[in-house]
Structure 1
Amino acid sequence: MERERTDLLERVERYYDLVPRAVATTEEVGPFTLFVPEEGTGWQFYARPRRPGSATFTPAAVERVLARQLALGLPRAIEWVADVTPSLLPAVRGAGYEPAHYPLLTLPPRVRVPPDPRARVLPPADPHLGIAFGAVRAGFTGRDDVEHQHPGRKPELIEQGALIVVASYEGSRLCGAGSAAPRGDVAELMGIAVPPGHRKRGHGSAITRSLVAACRERGVDLVFLTAGSDTAAGIYRRVGFVDTATACVLEIDG
């Protein structure tokens, strides 16, 4: 079982390094890779360990990459998997910071997850695409007033197969959304959110199930996500996801 878990996390790490490169340039800063998003993408990325598990991390290296982000006008942030790069946590703490810890969950391939009829995949020209991203923003900010958000390059990524967006509905009303970014046989579920007025009616589960089904239709056999809290993780555990590791996120400007 431990060998299987190690293999899963190695695949997750390769994915983390690959996925931002579709919309970002990279810069090596000591033992970190810094992803610099292209203008107009609407995404921000963290710095990540360049050689997970093998590099030497020091408080000085942490301060250096944070200073570089500041110089580039980027949010100062680092993310990593604690189980893969355990030496980074003491270095971050030595620099005077304390990261947040989040459950990283994976979905066993044997777990069958059918799509939910309330949720559907949005094509690149769907008029609800901007509303879907507005609902995600509202869900994370705790607001019910959903504003149309310009999708940026997301329709292009959907057309390329690099992004899947799913929205959940009650009748014709959009009640929440989320996305996934398939890369080969691995995909991360991201930004699953439901505005407060639509919560506790199963929309988070509906979005999750339909994203999983859409990913698997495209040949993905490793689906994973990072839950924003243990409470949120409970939604995904009920779908069939299992706790696999701990993600650490340091956000100074967020």
Structure 2
Amino acid sequence: MTLDVRIQQSVVANLSTRPTPVRTGPFVIGIDPSIDSPGINYATPLPGAEISGADVTALVTAFRSYDRKPRLEYVVSTAPGLEQLLLDAGFTVEERHEYLVCTPDSIQLRPAPDGYELREPATDADRAAMIAAQNAAFGGEPISTEADIARIGGLQARGGIAVMATAPDGTCAGGGMAVPPNDGVSEVAGIATPKPHRRRGLAGAVTTEITRRLFTAGVDIAWLEASGEDSWRVYERVGYRPTGRRLYIALD
């Protein structure tokens, strides 16, 4: 089994744990009724499946029935003809990303900066603080909702990992998470530190701690995507290496 297929299968497994997973033909849609974000509610193809234009039409219909924007994320090589089918149906490419992979042999441990503590959010108050810090780091409002808190708690309950950073003054300085592993593979996501805590090595330390915990739990492939050159450098210093291509594509 190729690494691309293993990564794509992990995406299928992750979407299948959404509160309302929907299977339509060769696709799985991960629907979360509590939030309409396209970054949460999206589809992915089953690796290697034969896909037709009629399958794409049915996929769009399924999205519309849940009042969600038709959107997909997937490893390109596992569905080589799909992009053209989607473009023919009116979809537009949002982004093309390289995904990066880390293994127990490639990880480079990066310690937390002096005075900062890395730990698992153990209470809803911890989860709320971590989510608010992540939202602020990504340019949003520093708030968290009950649905956000429940989502992180559910991820942890299913075997996923969350790590929060605490600053010397006791406030939350960011965090990140990893989805529940599937067949030894897990995606690391949401690594974020608000501006006052950047340029200290904290993002690398959070990434290291999440990845280390995954490997301790028996995972052999951790993967993620970088949102820009700065985060790319952070992840490479931890031991992540570019490995394959993913596509984000949606129908407006």
Q: In the alignment, which residue of structure 1 is the partner of 2:214?
A: 215
How far the C-alpha of 1:122 sits from its partner, in A, is 1.7
Contact 1:194/1:203 (8 A) holds in 2: yes
Contact 1:178/1:192, CA 8 A, preserved across alignment: yes
Q: How far did 1:252 drift?
A: 4.4
State the partner residue of 1:124: 122
Q: Does 1:162 align with 2:159?
A: yes
State the match for 1:27 in structure 2: 22
In structure 2, give the amino acid aligned to 1:165: A
Alpha carbons of 1:79 and 1:41: their partners in 2 closer, same or farther (altered >3 Å)? Answer: closer
Whether the 8 Å CA contact 1:119–1:210 is kept in 2: the answer is: no
Q: Deviations over 1:50-94 (max 9, x none)?
A: 3x2341343x54343223212212232111111222211111222
Q: Secondary structure at the match of 1:167?
A: strand
Distance 1:193 1:249, change over 3 A: same
Q: State the secondary structure of the residue aligned to 2:78.
A: coil
What residue is the counterpart of 1:7 in the other structure?
2
**Which residue pairs with 2:241 in the alignment?**
242
The alpha-carbon distance between structure 1 residues 223 and 46, as it changes in their structure 2 partners (threshold 3 A), is same
**Residue 28 of structure 1: CA displacement?**
2.8
Query: RMSD of the TM alignment (CA)?
Result: 2.6
Q: Secondary structure at the match of 1:33?
A: strand
Q: Is the 1:41–1:152 Cα contact (8 Å) retained in structure 2?
A: no
Q: Displacement, 1:241?
A: 0.6
Extract unaligned runs of 5+ from structure 1: 1-5
TM-score, scaled relative to structure 2: 0.84
Distance 1:231 1:97 in 2: 30
Contact 2:71 2:251 in 1 (8 A): yes
The alignment's TM-score, normalised by the length of structure 1, stands at 0.83
Cα gap change, 1:204 to 1:167, in 2 (>3 Å): same
Unpaired runs of at least 5, structure 2: none
Check the 8 A contact 2:92/2:250 in 1, yes or no: no
Query: Cα deviation per residue 1:182-216 (whole Å; 9 max; x = unaligned)?
Result: 32522110111222333323222121111111111
Q: What are the residue-to-residue correspondences of 1:41-80 with 2, within 5 Å?
A: 44-50=40-46, 52-58=47-53, 60-80=54-74
| Contact 1:119-1:207 at 8 Å conserved across structures | no
Distance 2:7 2:75 in 1: 9
Instruction: Report the CA distance shift for 1:131/1:91 in structure 2 as closer, same or farther (over 3 A).
Output: same
Percent identity over the alignment?
A: 24
Task: String of CA shifts for 1:86-135, please: whole Å, max 9, x gaps.
Answer: 21111122223332111211013312333633352324326321110111
